[in-house]
Structure 1
Amino acid sequence: MAVLRIVANLATADPQIARSFYERLLGMDIVMDHGWLMTFASDASARTQVSVACEGGSGTPVPDISVEVDNVDEIYERAQAEGFEIVYPITNEPWNVRRFYVRDPLGKVVNILSHR
């Protein structure tokens, strides 16, 4: 038995509002759109993971999802320019990641990070 994939399902009354964040800000493609459900994806592949935490590290709340990107500084600048709420400013963490938290249009806290 092997887990092949894990998908985050984020509840919203209007899936279209997620486009500004996941498609335009993060550059993900819409790979499925049923109207009531939209799936965003990238061509990248990684190991399947689930994290369970009592805090988000450095005293932050646990984010709803984490997204690793190749250039966190570029995404941070774009998120600010687009007016997304920055929940935790860009920070070099002692566990060798550079990250920030941003609130997506659904109200979810997203941890955007790059490994240093």
Structure 2
Amino acid sequence: MKVNSLSAAFTTQRVEESRDFYIEYFGAKVTFDCGWYVNLQFGDESSTLQFMSPRQPGQQLSESAGLMYNFSVPDVDEEYKRLTDAGLDVIVPLEDHPWGDRGFAIQDPNGIALYIYSDKEPSEEFKRYYK
């Protein structure tokens, strides 16, 4: 299979709130919004998320437990300061990790964990796992 792109669509009753959150805090660009479905673009056109309200009978809402979106940024310390200064609660503290990043996490309006990180040199222990 040749895949042109891949993105995640999250089914929620909070489509508008989700859209506004990602625009305000992550600079998302709305590329499609019909009210019940919104497509958000981050940075280049290959980074997108979608949020939609249920449309089919019996369609379930997505579960946020265990779900994490990863955002690679140029300066994680700058983003940590900006987002905490804006009043967002940190659910994973800002730390250096031996596998090769420095990061922290917050949550979006749906309870999805958002891991924000910058790459750094991995420890010797983890270098062998990179391909």
Q: What is the percent sequence identity of the aligned residues?
A: 27
Q: TM-score, normalised by structure 1?
A: 0.76
| RMSD (Å) for aligned C-alpha atoms | 2.2
- Note if contact 2:103-2:116 (Cα within 8 Å) is conserved in structure 1: yes
Q: C-alpha distance in 2, partners of 1:103/1:115?
A: 21
Bigger Cα Rg: 2
* Equivalent position SS for 1:74: helix
Q: Bigger CA drift: 11-20 or 27-36?
A: 11-20
Q: Give the partner amino acid of 1:106.
A: N
Matches within 5 A, 1:1-116: 1-44=1-44, 62-116=66-120
Q: Deviations over 1:18-54 (max 9, x none)?
A: 134311111121111111111111342669xxxxxxx
Aligned residues: 103
Gaps of 5+ in 2: 48-64, 121-131
Secondary structure at the residue paired with 1:85? coil
What runs of 5+ residues in structure 1 fail to find an aligned partner?
48-60
Equivalent position SS for 1:86:
coil
Alignment check: 8 A CA contact 1:76 1:100 kept: yes
Secondary structure of the residue aligned to 2:8 is coil
Q: Partners of 2:67 and 2:97 in 1: how far apart? A: 15
Moved more, 5-14 or 27-36: 5-14
Measure the CA separation in 2 of the matches of 1:23 and 1:8.
Answer: 17
The whole-number CA distance in structure 2 between the counterparts of 1:16 and 1:71 is 28
Which residue number corresponds to residue 50 of structure 1?
none
1:26–1:75: 8 Å Cα contact kept in structure 2? Answer: no
